[in-house]
Amino acid sequence: MAAVIWPGTDEEFDRLDDAVARNCDCVAGVLGLPPLTCHAHAMLGDQGALDHLLYVYRVRRVFVTREFYALPKRSRSGTSADPQHPRGSRRIPAADSR
């Protein structure tokens, strides 16, 4: 089995360790049965999972900013850019059917 290396900082590891501890479902061996390792602890042995978790942790602010705080692009004419309509055309709002 290859050694797993945490590529992040000590603070990032402490945060991961706390998250794993909060989500631990490990079962100790009882009455001669083998102990069962939970999925959270099993993940710590997967280098790819650790690398991906660290990547997402570090770039999450970019994702959240783009998703929730993005402003619509404006064309030069001041209307919202719409890829389905040619540049300079305007979308006519639908009439209210009350």
pLDDT tens-digit readout, 34-48:
888 999 999 999 999
- Report the pLDDT value the prediction gives residue 73, as an integer from 0 to 100: 72
Question: Could you tell me the pLDDT band of residue 30, with boundaries at 50, 70 and 90?
Answer: confident
Single out the residue of 35, 37, 43 nearest to residue 19, CA to CA: 43
* Angular region, 94: left φ>0, alpha ψ -120 to 50, beta rest: beta
Burial (0-12, 13-18, 19+ Cβ within 10 Å), 47: middle
The residue type at 24: C
pLDDT tens profile 50-82: 999 999 999 988 888 888 876 777 766 655 555
From CA 15, how far away is CA 55, in angstroms rounded? 14
Q: Give the number of other CB atoms < 10 A from CB of residue 93.
A: 6
Grade residue 91 by pLDDT with cuts at 50, 70 and 90: low
